[in-house]
């Protein structure tokens, strides 16, 4: 097992990794920007190294600075968390080339499954269901030709995209040129490549993802599904497990399909396969070759510490259990608490004047916020995750309602009022929502104001 792990991230995920390491008897190294000098994970880690100025391009995305910090402190492994360099194959390669273990898949696996076009082809070869789609599109004419083959509506996507960027819908041929041009422009501005491709656009799907764990010896398990359909601009706001949209036969079927596909691909460590689900059918979207923001809901229902397993797998340990050993209990729901205006979603950095996290049975808060902490304006606006667990979905909902009422965050605006509103709506209570529900609900509500 590793003696010292460097945490190449910030915020709640850095603290989450620190906690897992400490429970395993592993010392930690926190790296931080100048803006994060007083962050909680920096204060708790065994060692801390400043790796640059506040902007992430000069700190958390600075590969050389992070590796230098690992060498300086004698860290024998690096955990990248999520975001930043977590799916950067070049970084994983650099880490390994310096004799340090990257806690994640290999660079080769990351390139294969992190690239949406090659991942799509790998998914087809591994037997995963996919939507009709195209290879990379070099011209508008290519886009028009493929749209006719696939059938409208279609969605044009950046191959390196994420977070809703580089995605444009074309409902008929008159939309194609603008969708293609805008998708490429967004891709060029936000990602390493402006290459785009096309898929059939499903109009009312759920967003379902399957969590997997795989070791270096070919052993693979899935940890059930998460429903991430409460979204705005493709940004998730609430996630739950299991999905209220699936029956037991459906979840067992897709879980086994995914488990066999991952074994065939030869992937190891933690990963998540994302699907759209419509009319009883699953369609592969992409694979995230890293820890997911919403992993706590899976931990709640499975009882498995995913970060701990990531570290064990990277150290060379076998899983030590099979699919038949995995048991699921109850229902879990997560709210991403963002420092944003709940109506406009504009970021609201500032100083936390009062902080009180909810507690009690079945309530978990992942955050490194504290009273007096100043939220820097340079990073993602998520400041906490509230996770509740109950025996049934209804008991989890009641617990979530109570926990949100108990949550006190003063000094900045947050998304808590909107989340309280969402979970009180009949459609959400009944589990009758899709990926467009939130935006449609807010549009109708604002029209009636």
How many helices and strands, by DSSP H and E, does the chain display? Answer: 15, 20
Confidence tier at 164 by pLDDT (50, 70, 90): confident
- On whether the CB atoms of residues 93 and 87 are closer than 8 A, the answer is no
DSSP alpha helix (H) spans, 89-242: 89-97, 107-114, 116-125, 140-150, 173-190
- Using a pLDDT cut of 90, give the percent of the chain over it: 93
Looking at residue 234, what is its pLDDT? Answer: 84
- Average confidence (pLDDT) over 401-428: 98
Report strand pairing: 47-52 vs 27-33: parallel
Looking at residue 312, what is its pLDDT? Answer: 98
Looking at residue 261, what is its pLDDT? Answer: 97
How far is residue 421's CA from residue 429's CA, in Å, rounded to a whole number?
A: 11
DSSP string for residues in 120-139: HHHHHHTT--B--B-S-B-S
What's the domain count of the chain? 3
- Whether residues 178 and 218 share a domain: the answer is no
Is residue 253 pLDDT above 70, yes or no?
A: yes
Q: What is the DSSP letter of 414?
A: -
Scan for tokens 């997911």, then name that residue. 292
Give a yes or no: residue 107 inside a domain. no
Residue 109 tokens, joined:
């696996």
Is 290 catalytic? The answer is yes
pLDDT digits (tens, 9 = 90+) for 186-223: 999 988 899 999 999 999 999 999 999 999 999 999 99
Looking at residue 117, what is its pLDDT? Answer: 84
pLDDT digits (tens, 9 = 90+) for 282-325: 999 899 999 999 999 999 999 999 999 999 999 999 999 999 99
Give a yes or no: residue 401 inside a domain. yes
- Whether residues 346 and 327 share a domain: the answer is yes
Give a yes or no: residue 66 inside a domain. yes
**Domain CATH number, residue 69:** 3.40.50.20
- Whether residues 172 and 225 share a domain: the answer is no
Report in angstroms the alpha-carbon separations of 309 from 182, 210, 232, 290, 321.
40, 16, 31, 12, 12
Give a yes or no: residue 388 inside a domain. yes
- Whether residues 210 and 310 share a domain: the answer is yes
Looking at residue 346, what is its pLDDT? Answer: 95
- Average confidence (pLDDT) over 261-289: 96
- Whether residues 260 and 374 share a domain: the answer is yes
Q: Which of 290, 312, 336, 399 is catalytic?
A: 290
Confidence tier at 407 by pLDDT (50, 70, 90): very high
- Whether residues 306 and 418 share a domain: the answer is yes
Q: What is the largest CA-CA distance in the chain?
A: 61
- Whether residues 73 and 137 share a domain: the answer is no
- Whether residues 252 and 389 share a domain: the answer is yes
pLDDT digits (tens, 9 = 90+) for 12-54: 999 999 999 999 999 999 999 999 999 999 999 999 999 999 9
Q: Which pTM does this prediction carry?
A: 0.92
**Domain CATH number, residue 158:** 3.30.1490.20
Give a yes or no: residue 377 inside a domain. yes
How far is residue 395's CA from residue 332's CA, in Å, rounded to a whole number?
A: 10
Give a yes or no: residue 100 inside a domain. no
Give a yes or no: residue 182 inside a domain. yes
Residue whose C-alpha is closest to residue 32's, from 98, 74, 81, 76: 81
User: Of 174, 200, 226, which residue sits at a domain end?
Assistant: 200
User: Of 182, 200, 218, which residue sits at a domain end?
Assistant: 200
Looking at residue 51, what is its pLDDT? Answer: 98
- Average confidence (pLDDT) over 358-385: 97
User: Of 200, 216, 244, which residue sits at a domain end?
Assistant: 200
Looking at residue 160, what is its pLDDT? Answer: 83
- Whether residues 162 and 190 share a domain: the answer is yes
Q: What is the DSSP letter of 26?
A: -
- Whether residues 381 and 297 share a domain: the answer is yes
At a CB cut-off of 8 Å and minimum separation 6, what does 197 contact? 116, 117, 120, 133, 134, 135, 136, 137, 156, 157, 159
How far is residue 64's CA from residue 147's CA, in Å, rounded to a whole number?
A: 43
Looking at residue 144, what is its pLDDT? Answer: 96
CA neighbours closer than 13 Å in the CB half-sphere of residue 308: 12
pLDDT digits (tens, 9 = 90+) for 103-146: 999 999 999 998 888 898 999 999 999 999 999 999 999 999 99
Q: What is the DSSP letter of 320?
A: -
The domain containing residue 150 runs over which residues?
132-200
Give a yes or no: residue 346 inside a domain. yes
Residue whose C-alpha is closest to residue 324's, from 252, 247, 217: 252
Looking at residue 163, what is its pLDDT? Answer: 67
- Whether residues 279 and 344 share a domain: the answer is yes
Residue 87 tokens, joined:
């799916």
Q: Which of 55-64, 157-166, 364-373 shows the lowest mean pLDDT across its residues? A: 157-166
- Whether residues 214 and 191 share a domain: the answer is no
How far is residue 117's CA from residue 137's CA, in Å, rounded to a whole number?
A: 11
**Domain CATH number, residue 264:** 3.30.470.20
Looking at residue 30, what is its pLDDT? Answer: 98
């Amino acid at each position: 097992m590793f003696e010292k792990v460097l945490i190449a991230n910030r915020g709640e995920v850095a603290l989450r990794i620190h906690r897992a390491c400490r429970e395993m008897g592993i010392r930690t190294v926190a790296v931080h920007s100048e803006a994060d000098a007083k962050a909680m994970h920096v204060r708790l880690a065994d060692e801390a190294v400043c790796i640059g100025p506040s902007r992430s391009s000069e700190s958390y995305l600075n590969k050389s600075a992070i590796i230098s910090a690992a060498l300086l402190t004698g860290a024998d492994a690096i955990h990248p968390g999520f975001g930043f360099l977590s799916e950067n194959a070049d970084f994983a390669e650099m880490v390994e080339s310096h004799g340090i273990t990257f806690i994640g898949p290999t660079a080769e696996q990351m390139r294969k499954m992190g690239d949406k076009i090659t991942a799509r082809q790998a998914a087809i070869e591994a037997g995963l269901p996919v939507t009709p789609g195209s290879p990379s599109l070099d011209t508008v004419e290519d886009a028009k030709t493929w749209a006719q083959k696939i059938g409208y509506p279609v969605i044009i996507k950046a191959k390196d995209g994420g977070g809703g960027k580089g995605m444009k819908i074309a409902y008929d041929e008159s939309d194609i040129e603008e969708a293609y041009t805008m998708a490429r422009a967004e891709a060029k501005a936000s990602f390493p490549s402006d290459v785009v491709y096309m898929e059939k656009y499903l109009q009312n799907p759920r967003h379902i993802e399957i969590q997997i764990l795989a070791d270096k010896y070919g052993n693979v398990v899935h940890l059930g599904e998460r429903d991430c359909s409460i979204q705005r601009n493709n940004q998730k706001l609430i996630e739950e497990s299991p999905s209220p949209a699936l029956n037991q036969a459906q979840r067992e079927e897709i879980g086994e399909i995914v488990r066999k596909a991952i074994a065939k691909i030869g992937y190891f460590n933690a990963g998540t396969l994302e699907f759209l689900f419509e009319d009883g059918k699953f369609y592969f979207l992409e694979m995230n070759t890293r820890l997911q923001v919403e992993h706590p809901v899976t931990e709640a229902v499975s009882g498995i510490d995913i970060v701990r397993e990531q570290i064990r797998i990277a150290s060379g340990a076998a899983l030590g259990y099979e699919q038949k050993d995995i048991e699921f209990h109850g229902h879990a729901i997560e709210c991403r608490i963002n420092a944003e205006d709940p109506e406009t979603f504009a970021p609201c950095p500032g100083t936390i004047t009062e902080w009180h996290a909810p507690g009690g049975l079945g309530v978990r808060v992942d955050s490194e916020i504290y009273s007096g902490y100043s939220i820097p304006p340079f990073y993602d606006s998520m400041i906490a995750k509230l996770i509740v667990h109950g025996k049934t979905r209804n008991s989890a909902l009641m617990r979530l309602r109570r926990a949100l009422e108990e949550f006190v965050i003063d000094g900045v605006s947050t998304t808590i009022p909107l989340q309280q509103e969402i979970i009180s709506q009949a459609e959400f209570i009944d589990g009758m929502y899709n990926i467009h529900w939130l935006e449609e609900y807010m549009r109708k509500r604002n029209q009636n104001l």
